[in-house]
Amino acid sequence: MAQKAQQVSGAGCRLGGFSQLAELPEEALAELDSICRVRTYPAGKIIAGPDEEADFIGCVHDGILRMQKTLYDGRVAIVGLLVEGDMFGRVFERPMSVSIEAATDVEVCAFNRSRFEKLLMQYPELDRMLLLNILNELDRARDWMMILSNQRVRGRVAGFLLILCTRFATVDHFLRLREGKLIVKVPIGRTDLAHLLGTRTESLSRAFHALADDGLIDIEKPDLIAIRDLDALAAEAGEDDLSSFLSLNDLMKVLKARDA
Amino acid sequence: MAQKAQQVSGAGCRLGGFSQLAELPEEALAELDSICRVRTYPAGKIIAGPDEEADFIGCVHDGILRMQKTLYDGRVAIVGLLVEGDMFGRVFERPMSVSIEAATDVEVCAFNRSRFEKLLMQYPELDRMLLLNILNELDRARDWMMILSNQRVRGRVAGFLLILCTRFATVDHFLRLREGKLIVKVPIGRTDLAHLLGTRTESLSRAFHALADDGLIDIEKPDLIAIRDLDALAAEAGEDDLSSFLSLNDLMKVLKARDA
DNA sequence: CGGTATTTTGAGTATCGTCAAGGCCAGTGG
DNA sequence: CCACTGGCCTTGACGATACTCAAAATACCG
């Protein structure tokens, strides 16, 4: 599929190499590609916000975006992360309810909004893909809620790591398999993570090290976590869904297939 | 609009009396109405779940539904509430990620799923309405996340009350204006609220009474809160959006218009 | 190798979860 | 009409957890 996308890709916009876009008919992909412009942003740059008039639909190529809401007192609450293949932007004139900021240096693919919507009318498949994409985001938002509703920080950290293992497993370089252990790269710093999990960096640090002391994880570097006991993590998080949907075995299979 | 809906309503299914459905073309409404069946459930009844095969799209007429996920250890986390006019159900064969349970006695309007999806193909307006509906749910999920990411229970309670004032302001009997004060009816019990806010009933009680002691609210009954200082509540919640989107003045206008 | 940002640690305090008991209805049955 | 019951909300006391402030250690980047 990636090859097919490459063929129709004129602007170096590797649409379809990831995400649900791959399943679109070739014409649609070609048309999408023709209205696509690649843009890059440095870490920290605000890409889209309630006040920004940036009027495009975006698709993440590389890097991490964070969706956040800024509180009146300047604090920010992060309500989600966008990774490779995720889409964002305002459709159908709806005001953007979150602002989108680059968490790392990013490369996104931008579509002119009105032209994108025209394609939406033209290709029902695209329309439905968008719907499914949004439904996925909804599920993810609920996953975050589950994590946040855990009272202990330890549990929230555990849940976060699990999300990293499941949702971000197939994309990117977040997850490796080394000597039979899962190595997870935490894509954001402690400050962002604290905002995401509704806590403070100090508590995060303590939680990570508590999990390490109990042998559930190893902290190889602050942003590189080795998971020793996935089931124990799941128990810590109280997560039912994740562990049942995607067991350790499935993960291993996925990783072996990818590393081969 | 409500009248129009009434005209085409044969089964006593007051579609269009609320929600975005009102804006659909008459034919679509009529067809929807023809495949609609009114169902009632007692409080506590599980209406739809991952294992249930209940294969219909629903629209809430009256009462409150809660969307929840059950953890493997039996604990439940509530990830949202559905009120009058909200829709739910599985579209396009997607597995339901949450189970839906009646929080109060409810009356819902059920559409056969396959027939509903056929209408979806037939009326682009319906399709887009569904999309907007889902986008709304996404926003709401993010609002809940904001609330949950507040570290103190006081803040979460404050945020919850604000959501009640804004999102649920236009629907239902949740909000009244009496002697210049906002009277909010809390539609769920302390146990559910505790699950929703990721805390315990005892902490909730203390938080409510702390807010009352500080003069922000009055607790007329456990489920009937009078808001004395909306801005202070917003500050407590750290909420930016709510206070800016819908100020106290706007609320007053809405309420006066409705009570007239 | 130095300078900066990030992460970690420590000590003290506030908050919250926990357990246990008491109070407040609403409904029930005498 | 009143006592009784059960569910829910509240209160109190105590221990666990997390937030705050401050300082030290580590990682990161030229």
The reported pLDDT for the residue numbered B151 is: 95
Decide if pLDDT at B258 tops 80: no
What CA–CA distance (Å, rounded) separates B124 from B144? 30
Q: Which of B70, B79, B238 sits opposite A145 (nearest CB)?
A: B79
Mean pLDDT of chain B: 84
Residue B170 has pLDDT above 80, yes or no: no
pLDDT value, residue A206: 98
Q: How far apart are CA A89 and CA A55, in angstroms?
A: 8
Going by C-alpha positions, the residue among A42, A21, A30, A52 that lies closest to residue A108 is: A42
Give the residues of chain A that fall short of pLDDT 50: 1-10
Is the pLDDT confidence value at B247 over 60?
no
Q: Which residues of B touch A151 (CB under 8 A)?
A: 198-199
CB A38 within 8 A of CB A53: no
| Number of residues assigned to chain A | 260
Q: What is the pLDDT of residue A254?
A: 66
- Per-residue model confidence (pLDDT) at position B174: 80
> Would you say residue B146 has pLDDT above 70?
yes
Residues 86-115 of A with CB under 8 A from B: 91-92, 94, 97-98
Please tell me the number of Cα atoms within 13 Å of A138 on its side-chain side.
25
Average pLDDT over residues B186-192: 95
Nearest partner of B73 among A60, A240, A172, judged by Cα: A240
Mutation site, B138, B140, B143, interface A, largest A CB count within 10 A: B138
| Residue A174 per-residue DSSP state | S
Compare B133 and B18 and report the one with higher pLDDT. Answer: B133
Q: Determine the 3-state secondary structure of B68 from DSSP.
A: strand
**From CA B153, how far away is CA B190, in angstroms rounded?**
13
Residue B92 clears pLDDT 90, i.e. is over it? no
Once rounded to an integer, what is the mean pLDDT over residues B73-99? 87
Instruction: In whole angstroms, give the CA distance from residue A167 to residue B177.
Output: 45
Token reading at A200: 């403070």
Residue B132 exposed, middle or buried by CB count within 10 Å (0-12, 13-18, 19+)? middle
Which residues of B, range 62-91, sit inside 8 Å of A by Cβ?
67, 69-73, 75, 77-80, 91
Decide which of A170 and B17 is more confident. A170
pLDDT at position A190 is 96
How many residues are there in chain B?
260
Residue B235: name the closest of B135, B150, B124, B174 by CA.
B150
- CB contact under 8 Å between B241 and A148, yes or no, is no
Q: What is the residue whose two structure tokens read 């495949």?
A: B35
In the block, tokens 């008919």 appear at: A25
Positions of strand D less than 7 angstroms from a protein CB: 8-13, 17-22, 27-28
What pLDDT was estimated at residue B5? 35
Instruction: Judge whether residue B14 has pLDDT over 70.
Output: no
